[in-house]
Chains A and B, each alone.
Chain A
Amino acid sequence: MALVLLRLRLAIARRARGHGNGAQLYFATSWVLGGVGGLLAGMVTAVLVSGGGTGDLLLVVAFSGVFLPWVIGPIVEPTLADGVVDPQRLEQFPLTGWQQVTGLLAGALVAPTATFTFLFASGGVVALEEPPAVRAASLLVAMCYTVMCVAVSRSAQALLAGALRSRRGTDLAAFAASLLVLGVYLFAQQARATTAALGGQSATGPLGTVLSWTPPGAAGRAVLAARDGEWLEFVLRLGIVALTVVLALLAWAWVLGRRVNGTTLGQQRARSRRAASPLPLRPAVLRGLPAGPGVAAASQQLRYFFLRSPRAIQTLVIPPVMGVVVAHSSFAGYGLAAQTAAFAAMSVVAGSFNLFGYDGPGFTYLVLGGAPLRRVLTGKALAPLLYLLPLVATFALTESAIRGAPEAILPAILAGFSVVALGLGVGSASSVLNPSDQSRVGLRRGSFLKVFAWFMGFFTVAGIGGGVWWVLSRLTSSLLTGLFLSLAAVVVARAILHWSGRRLERDPYQVMLKLDPRTA
């Protein structure tokens, strides 16, 4: 049965490649990166296995480090249906939970990420001057380690997919995602100091000992045990890895079993019993504005951003967190205005460059109902202002307090506002020309490169704006420079928004087709 599901996975992968150049490029690039990156990482592993000394500890740390993204991936990208083989499709067939899990696992092993992991872990196979037994043991460890990474990741994904249906789960995921990004960034910032600290330790030191008892660290330690001829130690460490695989698969099968029992229905019913008011769409902060299509679209957008989609809230939270760190560190030498502009640039892209991304097929309703699409686009484009302006102002105030530069607050806020305005304009064009449905993972591979290109284009334009700011501030005061550039940004944004709206009204079917291919 595992082979049947593996063949299904391969067939789906062939279809998912698509016929567009972007999709083909993404598919090829991901496999090349997985293969070449894995080979390079495997060479490093081979050197560490051959070298001994501090290399032993680094090997254990590396095995733990590669395992980390497999575990935290589901927190950042939570979904049960991963665009590969959806477990829901298997429920109608007479398969045990174990058969489903092993089949899904076999399919999940055919991926660039799994290839990278396997090649990294099998570096010991090509280590210099090692006997065949050690090479064979390294291969066995690499296989078990790869299976463990995939199994743990998929079971965590399945567990989280259920938990994230609740509001509390959504909030928790957003909080965890922001902490995670912050943690990874801070770790990267401290990497040099961490490496220096590791230089004084061996694999039998405190860190090495602790890591060796964790499942990924045990895999690294097993390779070292084989090299040193400590075969009892090898069996013990490999046993930890095997046990983890079994536990992960059992947890995965348990989650699939719970779905059959309908455990999540109770949660849904509990949520549904609260009474709703007749007009619940518009949030209190927008109720003072005249009711119309623009306000309605802004309300729907904010509701989707903050209350209805775990992925949306994560996507919104992570960039500002990274923006704080980048602006606070990399832009510290360029002044408060540049820091605030950098923070604003990183914050605006997530909520503005794919305005219909969370609507998905709902966009078809807008076309079907004859909605005034220009007004809808304007409402959706302006909705992020509601959280971006307070965010930018708070950042400028906090950073100025840290720097002790109160006189720079107003120009900094204007710099941030200029970037936000420009981002809203460019984002509206991106949303009309390159929309993609965020709820369907497998179908937006090709659009990833285009989205990246739009981000880079926007950052370039913002950078040019920064150059203009630098020149103008040499000729006049920062405040006047800020006022002038804010006005210019609003004019540019308005023009782009107007053009995008006209284009959308002229031909909404292109956008509809990309968001809801069924309408073809």
Chain B
Amino acid sequence: MVPFALEAHGLVKVFGDLRAVDGVDLAIPRGTFYGIAGPNGAGKSTTLRMLTGLLRPDAGNAVLGGVPVWPDPRAAKAQVGFVPDNPVLFDRLTAPEMLEYAGLLRRMDPAVVAERSTELLHVLDLADEGEKLIADYSLGMIKRIGLAVALLHGPRVLVLDEPFGALDPVNTQVMEDVLQLYRRGGGTVLFASHVMDVVQRLCDRLAVIGSGRVLAEGTVADVAGGRNLQDAFVELVGGRDLEEGELSWLSSFSG
């Protein structure tokens, strides 16, 4: 068995003049909680989309459980569950309909789909939504149904892009518990976030990305280097202070 659940080898993606991802190498051990941190526009989401077979890299490749993701990402997709920043779902279906659709598309036994759907909807507090369409859900609810859809087939690797944004503290706790349960069963969790306290609380290992490159990689303690992780992060990606006098009008009101 390969020791890494997911690997990236020299991933590159260029959009016009912008080199969004510029040679990213990652090796994510099995059964870990792995974080990718970086400022807005650092290339986190683009990296995740290439790792999960949604975006073809211009160079390099990803390997998921020993299976190359590209050129044919279908085999890799069977092993992964992905929750994007804004989960894309069939928004005119209800949550149970969406889960049934997802299960049958993955050729699951309908009885298993029914059993898992009921349980997931209950745990993620979506069981009482009845015939409400996903289009009418709040962003937090969409994140939760997105997670349910990603977990339904029991993937080996779970990839999440900003999973805790828009969640209230109760649902954040529930989602963390679900993810820890999944990890204890041998699953690997990879998630991107720029919220450092979440990264510090959950992750075993961390990669900090800036301008499409890996700036630092290791255990959270290694990357923090004895400092607060937030300070270490700002130092790595380059912070910016307000100049003297900038936005001084904010200290008065327009009426």
Contacts and interface: CB of A to CB of B under 8 A. Distances in A.
Contacts of B55: 519
15 contacts: A268-B132, A272-B131, A272-B132, A276-B97, A276-B130, A276-B131, A278-B96, A278-B118, A291-B110, A293-B104, A293-B105, A300-B90, A300-B101, A369-B102, A372-B105
Task: In the A-B complex, list the 6 residue pairs whose CB atoms are closest, starting with the nearest.
Answer: A370-B77, A296-B104, A272-B132, A308-B92, A278-B114, A362-B90
B202 interface: no
Interface string A275-303: 11111111000000001110111011001
A516 B136 CA distance: 19
A202 interface: no
Contacts of A209: none
A279 B116 CA distance: 11
Nearest to A366: B105
A371 interface: yes
B215 interface: no
Contacts of B90: 300, 304, 359, 362, 365
A309 B96 contact: no
Interface in B80-114: 82, 84, 88-94, 96-97, 100-102, 104-107, 110, 113-114
Interface string A208-239: 00000000000000000000000000000000
B92 A309 contact: yes
Nearest to A376: B105
Most buried by A among B53, B73, B107: B107
B100 A281 contact: yes
Given A276-B130, A279-B96, 19 more contacts: A274-B131, A276-B94, A276-B131, A277-B96, A278-B115, A278-B117, A279-B117, A281-B97, A281-B100, A291-B104, A292-B107, A296-B104, A359-B90, A362-B88, A368-B77, A369-B149, A370-B73, A371-B105, A371-B106
A304 B92 contact: yes
Given A271-B131, A369-B105, A279 B92 contact: no
A368 B92 contact: no
B68 to A, nearest CB: 14
A362 B89 contact: yes
Contacts of A281: 93, 96-97, 100-101, 104
Contacts of B84: 368
A148 to B, nearest CB: 34
Range of interface residues on A (Cβ < 8 Å): 35 or more
Contact of A272 (B73, B77, B92, B129): B129
Interface of A: 268, 271-282, 291-293, 295-297, 299-300, 303-304, 308-309, 358-362, 364-372, 376, 509, 516, 519
Contacts of A370: 53, 73-74, 76-78, 106
A274 B97 contact: no
Interface in B120-147: 129-133, 136
Contacts of A272: 129-132, 136
A359 B134 CA distance: 13
Contacts of A509: 56
B120 to A, nearest CB: 11
A273 B73 CA distance: 40
Interface in B2-42: none
Contact of A365 (B89, B97, B104, B117): B89
A304 B90 CA distance: 10
B52 interface: yes
A368 B88 contact: yes
A365 B88 contact: yes
Contacts of B74: 370
A359 B91 CA distance: 8
A368 B96 contact: no
Nearest to B146: A365
B54 interface: yes
A360 B90 CA distance: 8
Contacts of A299: 101
Contacts of A295: 104
B62 to A, nearest CB: 14
B131 A296 contact: no
